[in-house]
Amino acid sequence: MRAQLATDFERLKQRGLPRDFPSHVREAYGIDLTARYLGTTIPHPIGKGSGQLSLNQGQLEVDAEAGLAFAVLKTVIAQDAAGAQSMAAWAIHEAKMKVERRGGGWTVTWKGRGWDRSFEEYLALARVGGDLTRDGHLLVVPSVKYHLPRLGEPFKDSEYAFTTRALAAAWGEPLLLLEKDFSPTLAGDALAGEQEQILRWLREVPTHIRGQAAVRLAMKIMNARFDDDFQLEMVRAASGADGLVVFNRLFDPKQGVAYGGPELTERNLRVLARLTPGGSPGIPELSGTGGITSGRDILEYARRGCESVQLHTYFQLPLDEYAATEGSRTQRALHQLVFDPTDGLIAGMLELETQGVLERRGGELHFLDLAANAHHAR
């Protein structure tokens, strides 16, 4: 299998990664890459996180053709029927992103603002996403930043109602899949300076969203400006969601920007490891994000309970950072993440089998077994 993996890696470098590569992985290596996001079965665990790479139909179509498992749309800022936005400070144009090395790895540095076009344009994109999802080409999930009140203030349900209902109508049947974004730049805002305030948001936001439409909800949790213990408190407070995206980028208060890289990966995995030994009842489905640059990174998140992962930076590296010379950036990234004979997903799962960490069922290794077994002592 390892010899075949090296051959596949070289062959696909020049031919481009086929859309149905999970079928080849299953047939050639006896590895089932099936994963899950927001209760939906997906062919493999790799998705694209919300941001500048998922803000138009063309990008979604390229990702569908590449065989990406899912894509989360750029975050739209909630509004009421009159167009008023309490979080309007996030609906400004901050498109400039800087791909750079930080702490020995790659990061994209930017101010992390949301959708700056009209709400009608976002609804049109959500319609495209709903169609792609129903046709089985690509799971597409809208993302929203809703009003977050200060302690003692009420939630602006007029914004929750108008935005959620409009998205549900645009999405169509079945129920709306939705991600609530706690932006990394929120961590640098005065709003996020009080722990009780943050915990209230995490406890109460799901109820305010669910009261407006039939929704399956994921909440993307930020890295707050507090210690690891508080990150765990945040996860427990968010148990009312169907899924959690753990955890958003770090915030640099001096530069006023969000960033990722190895520092983010280390913190996220450290916190997630404390959720799993001995079991963590009440924790929703987890999707990992942060500093993922190899299949081995994906497996580290999986071994801490994540049933899928979301990447952003890795899809933006200079082209010479990918081994593949053909295909879109998404195809080249997937090729490296899955087939790299040393650090790819296949190589890592075969190694875990050798170590006795992962066992075959029905002659196959199953990616989801890693997350299922994460809630036992590691």
| Whether residue 41 has pLDDT greater than 80 | yes
pTM of the model: 0.93
- Structure confidence at residue 378 (pLDDT): 37
Percent of the chain with pLDDT over 90: 70
Whether 52 contacts 96, CB under 8 Å: no
What residues are paired with 365 via a beta bridge? 31
- Structure confidence at residue 278 (pLDDT): 46
Whether 291 contacts 106, CB under 8 Å: no
What confidence tens digit (pLDDT) does each residue in 355-370 have? 999 999 999 999 999 9
| Whether residue 376 has pLDDT greater than 50 | no
What confidence tens digit (pLDDT) does each residue in 198-243 have? 999 999 999 999 999 999 999 999 888 888 999 999 999 999 999 9
Mean pLDDT of the 183-191 span: 64
- Structure confidence at residue 109 (pLDDT): 63
- Structure confidence at residue 51 (pLDDT): 87
Site of tokens 């090729």: 335
Cα 23 from Cα 71, distance rounded (Å): 20
137 phi, psi to nearest 5 deg: -85, -40
Question: Which pLDDT band, with edges at 50, 70 and 90, does 103 fall under?
Answer: low
What mean pLDDT is reported for the chain?
89
Of 283, 73, 81, nearest to 180 (Cα)?
Answer: 73
142 phi, psi to nearest 5 deg: -65, 155
CB atoms within 10 A of CB 228: 12
More confident residue, 86 or 296: 296
| Whether residue 56 has pLDDT greater than 90 | yes
Site of tokens 């609804």: 123
